[in-house]
Structure 1
Amino acid sequence: MFKSIDNIDMQVQGTAAVAAPSLPSSLPETMVTKEKIAEWREYLAEIDWVPDLGMDIGSPAWFRGLVTLVALSGFAISCLPDFGPIAGHRADALSGYRADQARSQMIAPLAYGSDTGIRMAATDAVRPLAESPERPSIELVATLGRGDSLRRVLQRAGVASNEAAQANDLISGAVSLGDIKPGTKIDVILGRRPAKNQARPLDQLAFRARFDLNLEILRDGDRLKLNRKPIRVDDTPLRIKGTVGSSLYRSARAAGAPSDAVQKYLQVIGSKMSVSRDIRSTDEFDIILSYRRAETGEVEVGDLIYAGLDRGGKPAAQMLKWQSGGRTNWFEASGVGQSNGELARPTNGRITSSYGMRRHPILRYKRMHSGMDFGGGYGAPIYAVTDGTVVHAGRKGGFGNYVRLQHGGGLASGYGHMSRIAVSNGRRVRKGQIIGYIGSTGLSTGPHLHYELYRGGRTINPRSVKFVERAQLGGRELRNFKGQLQKLQRVEPGAALTTLKSASAQAEPEREINRLNKPLAS
């Protein structure tokens, strides 16, 4: 049996060396041999061949461990492989057909001809060219930049100046050059030139001139010929409807309306009612956009043309974009609209006296007239020029019955000589709301409205701020307006998003020139 580890450590530390076992000589030789082997095994097992070299430095056990380390390291080093070159069979150099065949199957760098494949291998039959041949044709894409001209774009692409001018004239006869949008891609094919000192001839040119038109120029002998290729376009408007919910903007965006269209819708509806106070969560928004889609798959989303709001199944607001008198305005379903301006007209009467120095009709001397006078019948309504708060409603010296409104941005307005006041102090009024009626109270020679405008507490000329003039459609124009309104209301939501089938059986191309160059089916 082996001794314990503690006994072995004590033996190593207490004695300089372990004495080899001795056996009695009177035993038989076979038994002596077996006993001796067993004794040696036990002896060798008790020796610590790998002691800790950090302890008992200089002791016999430490030197024994050092010898073990050196022996193992030498054995490991002797097992390292040889990193010298591997001997191989030396073959004779290839020549003749075998050399050509081997060369044809290698991948050579560009500096050595880059010939790969047996068909491209250079043999003794190859003769160098006196000059490199030109490509029979060149295909390229030119882009029309902002402020650039079509003629200059073609010349930069390599088209001769006379052919560029000819192509420019042909295209301008088919479409206005100003209608070609910047960024338009022009596919150009230049043919073989007769000499290197001449420009390549224009063989083919194709591009999208308009959303509904492709133009193509082909060479016909010595001249160029223009081909028009109309594209079928569907103009069904895009109608988007939905419930307002907690946020009209988020609900409209979730329904698929573009952000700029939703912002314009809020502006138009906001001119009729307060978006934050008057619109309910159960109301339904109705947005109609101009929308065009071509049979080739392109889509153009236009501007807002109708803004509506339904409440309980009935329209609460209907605003249609309409052009009248050369100006585009928003009109209500009744045909009443407003043109551009900042302030509403305070009354419908004509202007009888302007802002500035004048002779007072009662006091009989010249003094500053700090406002504008509007004529009108007794009891005619007076309107608030814009949203504001009533800061004075009552008698005020020579103004008689007087109302003053405070607006945002330091702007205020005053209305004098009223026969009756229709608002009270502290009340919030809306643009166009009736605040009183024309009269002749105070220093007045007859029924009229004295209107003043203040900025920063001082009077300014009311003419410096443009009035909003109300427009009213009538007659045939009103009938056309209502007919267009009814036509839009018959459009089903999402009808413009249905699949538009092409009028031709050909596949829709990515580019016009690619379609023209496709081989015909056999």
Structure 2
Amino acid sequence: MSFGRAFVPVAELGTLDRLRAAAMRIDWVPDLGSRIGSLEWWRGAATCAALCATAVVLAPPIAYPILGSAPAPLSGSDRDEARAQAIAPLAWGADTGRHMAANDLVVPLAEAPERPIEERTATIGHGDSLGAVLQRAGLSERDAQDAVVLIAGAVPLGDLTAGKQIPMTLGRRPNKTVARPLEALALRARFDLELSLKRVGDTLVLSRQVIAIDNTPLRIQGLVGSSLYRSARAAGIPAKVVESYIRAINSKFAIGQIGSGDRYDFVIDRKRAATGETQIGNLLFAGLDHGSKKTQLVQWNDGTWYEATGQAERQGTFTMPVSMARVTSSFGMRFHPLLGFTRMHKGIDIGTPWGTPIHAPADGTIVYAGRSGGYGNYIKMAHGGNIVTCYGHLSRFASRSGQRVSRGQIIGYSGNSGLSTGPHLHWEVLRGGVAVNPRGFSFSSIATLSGEQLRAFKAKVAGLLAVKPGA
């Protein structure tokens, strides 16, 4: 028994079979790109020529086109029907498509109907009143006045800052000649309070929603790097807070001394509302690790930046007490024009027109304001650190004894009282009771907190240092 095809010797095959077997062993389509000129190549070229000749012989004649049938062009109603279902390019007019005429169910309108309600948003601008803003948004004068009265009863209208947005809903009106009625209004009056107005019948009703606020400060620390300002801004600290930090640190040493390896420490007032908003406030703590020196400054209630120990060094210069100043007599020995002999002139005389306002050159307290011999009307003001300034020959006073004044505040008016040859201001500066030249005078004093203020200050410092960075 045998499996598969039986083996047949070549000698037993017929002549035709032997030729077929021999032809199958020949490669009739060799690669014409290789062995060019060989017997196999010429055999392949002959095969290619034979195939091309066969294709030419069997192909239809080129001179005679192939006939086909074309549909007859449409006309009349058939053309219109086909065009109505076609899509024409815009360049051809695009006037295709089927249109249906209106039937009896279609009623023509005299005018387009209005929306039943409208959602609008009003924005308070600089110098805007709330009533004007609401009327500009489309409310009637009566609705605007009613809304202003209700809101004013909840919060002072002055607390509504510019840029605040007021979303509102206006209802349907009987005709286009009257304003739409106010249906609802929402107003974020304060960070912790939201007001809403809603119409109930013909009356607007106010409701208050108190928003829970978290007052945990924000603490941010980082490396100074190539620029303190850029590094702090890249950490997300507002520009105004960075500027406050630089001013505070600059009171201790020059900003140019800060190195790239130093580390800054900010504690900023922050409020977080339960609704998700965050409000960044003022700088509370300014810290800097400068090499082995650690600087920690905290701003107290008087606006002064104190060290963590409760001390603050104040440095500065006095500004001229009158504008457009012209010094007529300098500090030092001089011949007195009225007494007729040479003596020490303890201040400088500034020529001014009668009644010129006199401004405080720095913060201080009025020690005395009254008559004082040859000085005439006289003011004496203490600035701390055993520094006192005096002002003579005034025409009248704008301050009183014991009053606390700020830099630039008017304390009196120049005149010609006392021993004086004409309207002017006599200005003296005393340090420790000794007269010094007021021109170019610079001062330095140390303020120290004590008692209850010191205890409250240290408690504030401890609370700020306990804030975790990034919390």
TM-score (norm 1): 0.49
1:189 alignment partner in structure 2: 169
1:389 alignment partner in structure 2: none
1:47 alignment partner in structure 2: none
How far did 1:194 drift? 3.8
SS in 1 for 2:74: coil
SS in 2 for 1:268: helix
The 1:467/1:343 distance shift into structure 2, 3 A limit, reads farther
Contact 2:311 / 2:449 at 8 angstroms: preserved in 1?
A: yes
The 1:239/1:199 distance shift into structure 2, 3 A limit, reads same
How far did 1:302 drift? 2.2
Residue 324 (structure 2) pairs with residue 365 (structure 1)? no
2:308 alignment partner in structure 1: 333
SS in 1 for 2:133: helix
Q: Give aligned-pair identity as a percent.
A: 47
2:436 alignment partner in structure 1: 451
**Equivalent position to 2:187, from 202, 207, 219:** 207
How far did 1:213 drift? 2.0
Matches within 5 A, 1:100-111: none
2:160 alignment partner in structure 1: 180
1:304 alignment partner in structure 2: 283
Alpha-carbon distance in structure 1 between the residues aligned to 2:183 and 2:315: 52
The 1:242/1:222 distance shift into structure 2, 3 A limit, reads same
The 1:222/1:274 distance shift into structure 2, 3 A limit, reads same
Kindly provide the amino acid, as one letter, of the partner of residue 320 in structure 1: V
Residue 191 (structure 2) pairs with residue 216 (structure 1)? no
SS in 1 for 2:454: helix
2:457 alignment partner in structure 1: 481
SS in 2 for 1:287: strand
The 1:366/1:287 distance shift into structure 2, 3 A limit, reads same
Residue 178 (structure 2) pairs with residue 198 (structure 1)? yes
The 1:294/1:122 distance shift into structure 2, 3 A limit, reads farther
Kindly provide the amino acid, as one letter, of the partner of residue 189 in structure 2: A
How far did 1:248 drift? 3.5
1:316 alignment partner in structure 2: 294
Alpha-carbon distance in structure 2 between the residues aligned to 1:151 and 1:117: 54
Contact 1:341 / 1:469 at 8 angstroms: preserved in 2?
A: no
1:75-104 deviation per Cα after TM superposition (whole angstroms, max 9, x unaligned): 9xxxxxxxxxx9325326999xxxxxx99x
Count of equivalent residues: 300
**Equivalent position to 1:472, from 448, 458, 465:** 448
Alpha-carbon distance in structure 2 between the residues aligned to 1:130 and 1:246: 72
Matches within 5 A, 1:222-371: 222-277=202-257, 279-310=258-289, 316-324=294-302, 328-337=303-312, 342=317, 365-367=341-343, 369=345, 371=347
Alpha-carbon distance in structure 1 between the residues aligned to 2:269 and 2:150: 31
How far did 1:297 drift? 2.8
Alpha-carbon distance in structure 1 between the residues aligned to 2:442 and 2:157: 37
SS in 2 for 1:276: helix
How far did 1:480 drift? 1.1
Matches within 5 A, 1:151-162: 151-162=131-142
How far did 1:491 drift? 0.3
How far did 1:161 drift? 0.9
How far did 1:317 drift? 1.4
Kindly provide the amino acid, as one letter, of the partner of residue 365 in structure 1: F
Alpha-carbon distance in structure 1 between the residues aligned to 2:243 and 2:111: 65
Alpha-carbon distance in structure 2 between the residues aligned to 1:466 and 1:273: 17
The 1:356/1:179 distance shift into structure 2, 3 A limit, reads farther
Alpha-carbon distance in structure 2 between the residues aligned to 1:211 and 1:370: 56
1:392 alignment partner in structure 2: none
How far did 1:241 drift? 1.3
How far did 1:477 drift? 1.7
How far did 1:152 drift? 0.5
**C-alpha RMSD over aligned residues:** 4.3
2:470 alignment partner in structure 1: 494
Which ranges of structure 2 fall in alignment gaps of 5 or more residues? 1-62, 64-71, 88-96, 320-329, 349-431
TM-score (norm 2): 0.54
How far did 1:172 drift? 1.3
SS in 1 for 2:119: strand
Alpha-carbon distance in structure 2 between the residues aligned to 1:218 and 1:309: 53
Kindly provide the amino acid, as one letter, of the partner of residue 461 in structure 2: L
The 1:273/1:130 distance shift into structure 2, 3 A limit, reads closer
1:273-292 deviation per Cα after TM superposition (whole angstroms, max 9, x unaligned): 23333x45544321111222
1:327-383 deviation per Cα after TM superposition (whole angstroms, max 9, x unaligned): x22122222236795359xxxxxxxxx9689899xx9934452549xxxxxxxxxxx
The 1:301/1:448 distance shift into structure 2, 3 A limit, reads closer
Alpha-carbon distance in structure 1 between the residues aligned to 2:314 and 2:103: 85
Alpha-carbon distance in structure 1 between the residues aligned to 2:168 and 2:457: 46
Which ranges of structure 1 fall in alignment gaps of 5 or more residues? 1-74, 76-85, 96-101, 107-115, 345-353, 373-446, 454-459, 496-522
The 1:315/1:476 distance shift into structure 2, 3 A limit, reads farther
Contact 2:346 / 2:435 at 8 angstroms: preserved in 1?
A: no
SS in 1 for 2:304: strand
Alpha-carbon distance in structure 1 between the residues aligned to 2:452 and 2:77: 102
Alpha-carbon distance in structure 2 between the residues aligned to 1:223 and 1:117: 53
How far did 1:229 drift? 1.7
Alpha-carbon distance in structure 1 between the residues aligned to 2:236 and 2:121: 35
The more displaced of 254-263 and 234-243 is 254-263
**Equivalent position to 2:123, from 143, 148, 153:** 143
How far did 1:475 drift? 1.6
How far did 1:493 drift? 0.5
Alpha-carbon distance in structure 1 between the residues aligned to 2:101 and 2:463: 73
